[in-house]
Structure 1
Amino acid sequence: MTLEVGFSVTHRRYVPYSHAHYGGDLVDGAYGLALFGDVATDLAIHTDGDESLLAGYSSVEFLAPIQAGDVVEVTASVTRIGTRSRDLSFEARVLCRAAPERGPSAADVLDPPILATKASATIVVPPKAAGGSAPA
């Protein structure tokens, strides 16, 4: 296990059209937050050997839309280590986007990627998993 400030985990995911919730093939903001929950769980397993619980978000910024047909990369990074809590920062970036004007399956790699969502949150691990961690 690697419990240190700066440790990060990254996931990539294709956003299927079945997840579009609004006009313009937009997905709702909760879609990105669900991805943050998944990557936070993965990070906690790596750092503490436990899935953890999300205690709460201290900030969430929706900066650009996530759309069906996007390839999204989400990263969670440890920013603070407490006795049983860990503060995390999250970013969701759109790496690829559908280009339906060129054809039904056309898509583009975005250079640079679009920063769609940023957030900060606290997760909590049980005492057994947190043994040996740095003090709060």
Structure 2
Amino acid sequence: MSSTRAVVGLSVTHRRYVPHSHAHYGGSLVDGAYGLGMFGDVATELCVRADGDEGLFAGYSQVAFTAPVQAGDVIEATATVVRVGTRSREIDFEARVVCRAAPDRGPSAADVLDPPLIVTTARGTVVVPPQSPDSE
């Protein structure tokens, strides 16, 4: 198997519909953990693509919730490698609402948001196993 190496700038994006079953608060609001869960998923794929391993999330150094997530949103989460250490990868995350329900126009009406609405940003660190000598 050929060696894989994390590189600064490598990026992965996932998109997901936010179901109404995830609304926990008035106004169909969804908790901030929904976006953090997506960050874990994109970090996992990023580690697989960069290092051939799912890696382990070590922690966040910064998280900001900048706008609400609502049931009926289509949200995308992007993870981008910003620093590569021997076994650690520092990653910037951004979650954006790209479509939002428009219940005032009808029960299934929705709009594409252009530009998307940034709802969560974060910086985190993942750790991957050391590269084996025979993979170099």
TM-score, normalised on structure 2? 0.93
The 10-residue stretch of structure 1 (96-105 or 121-130) with the greater mean CA deviation from structure 2: 121-130
Q: Which residue of 2 aligns with 1:90?
A: 93
Q: Which residue of 2 aligns with 1:35?
A: 38
Q: Say which of 34, 52, 56 aligns to 1:53.
A: 56
Q: Cα deviation per residue 1:52-98 (whole Å; 9 max; x = unaligned)?
A: 11100000000000111000010000000000000000000000000
Give the structure with the higher percent strand.
Answer: 2
Alpha-carbon distance in 2 for matches of 1:72, 1:48: 26
Alpha-carbon distance in 1 for matches of 2:94, 2:132: 26
Q: Is the 8 A contact 1:49 1:129 kept in 2?
A: no
Q: Which residue of 1 aligns with 2:23?
A: 20
Consecutive unaligned residues of structure 1, counting only runs of 5 or more, are: none
RMSD of aligned residue pairs (Cα, Å): 1.8
Specify the code of the residue in structure 1 equivalent to 2:20.
Y
- CA shift, 1:126, in A, is 1.5
Q: Which residue of 2 aligns with 1:120?
A: 123
Q: Is the 8 A contact 1:71 1:96 kept in 2?
A: yes
Aligned counterparts, 1:52-71, within 5 A? 52-71=55-74
Alpha-carbon distance in 1 for matches of 2:132, 2:15: 27
Specify the code of the residue in structure 1 equivalent to 2:26.
G
Runs of 4+ in 1 over 3 A off after TM superposition: 128-133
Q: Is the 8 A contact 1:50 1:129 kept in 2?
A: no
Alpha-carbon distance in 2 for matches of 1:74, 1:94: 9
Seen in structure 2, the aligned counterparts of structure 1 residues 131 and 114 have a Cα distance that, compared at 3 Å, is farther
| Number of residues of Structure 1 aligned to a counterpart in Structure 2 | 133
Q: Say which of 97, 106, 111 aligns to 2:109.
A: 106
